[in-house]
Structure 1
């Protein structure tokens, strides 16, 4: 099972577990997750590509994969890329493990704890991309400090991304989009997103949609899809 350094979680996520898992889901969490989990008790390899059963050329990270629709699809669409998916919510992790039992992805590894532990473990310039889709917006002002996009985490992204690598951010919450654009504008390591606000309303290539996104659209919130490039 993956482990983490001895320090407290940074509390960017809310609930850790929802409804009771089925016996099959519980078995997958106990037996299958340790087989595919990134083990932070081991020193990070110089080349992350060696973490995978498949032969891959580069590695991407998705933080908070939720239902896993995008991550599972992307890993299937890009077999020569390794993917690491982070999700501390147990029920979502169980759902991903069920999907992997039905349709395996040898180029996918998982991590079930605070993403900052993993980010701090990764080597410098080791990732081709980082995805953060529909993170918890923490809409109340007193909770803004719990938003994942902040100066410290952008510093972490800048350290682990290769020059030219992409940080992609999607949200249906206007205030969080503005917050992210402002933080990027103040950070020396990232370029502003290309295109116009109208173009930002277009999903990424191959985007499968998610259940959360469908709910946002039903409720009249328009998603925004941003992509920021790590400067050389």
Structure 2
């Protein structure tokens, strides 16, 4: 059996790579369709979030007329982000996704539906999260993040102590976090870290509160594939 390719120091999966561990896998798969590819040059520049590594990302400047600001980290194919944007036109919807096919998909949704309240960061959502000022967001949504379910890969999970603390920091008092996963171990992992994060309060009182989807949940194609080891588990937290 041939030896596996050695990881170089510049490789995001190399143990000595600089910066935070990458919480996502590949960034592109199949060829992007021409019409979607064209939107990268026409639509995306008009709705792109300013470079979060260059300075703060203030939601109030992204859409001054907005009455709320929501952030979705890892929007996948964008069906959920687009539907929430359509249902909540007064909220600026900040969506982050490094997977280029997902970005192509959401651009098509935005263009087809004429959505004016979506802003996109086509890269790691943690950069935007870190750049948002304190108490700026009404909602944060993390739906079906990569589970990294092998124990040796758990450290790559998006939801960790640092991310939980940043979420608590950027949420307004009364703001909500929704974390959804279809892996039991990840749900337990997330619950443990969120429960010990100051100022985040779990809203569940009984099992149905995490087993039954909230009324405004949008089912996506990914969810319908049922790739995890459990039905979706919904963890809702509020900023005290």
TM value normalised by structure 2: 0.87
Q: CA offset at residue 22 of structure 1?
A: 1.4
Q: Which residue of 2 aligns with 1:51?
A: 62
1:14–1:220 CA distance, 2 compared to 1 (3 A): closer
1:14 to 25, 30, 53: 25
Bigger shift: residues 24-33 or 125-134: 24-33
CA RMSD of aligned residues (A): 1.8
1:226 matches 2:235: yes
Question: Alpha-carbon deviations, 1:2-36, whole Å to 9, x = none?
Answer: xxxxx745301101001011111221123321111
Distance in 1, Cα, partners of 2:32 & 2:65: 33
1:194 to 190, 193, 204: 204
Q: Which residue of 2 aligns with 1:29?
A: 40
1:81–1:95 CA distance, 2 compared to 1 (3 A): same
**Structure 1 residue ranges, 4+ long, deviating more than 4 angstroms after superposition:** none
Structure 1, gaps ≥5 residues long? 1-6
Q: CA offset at residue 220 of structure 1?
A: 6.8
Question: Alpha-carbon deviations, 1:104-139, whole Å to 9, x = none?
Answer: 211110101111111111111111110000000000
- Larger Rg over CA atoms: 2
Q: CA offset at residue 201 of structure 1?
A: 1.2
Mapping of 1:80-119 within 5 angstroms? 80-119=90-129
Structure 2, gaps ≥5 residues long? 1-17
TM value normalised by structure 1: 0.89
Q: Which residue of 1 aligns with 2:156?
A: 146
Q: CA offset at residue 55 of structure 1?
A: 2.3
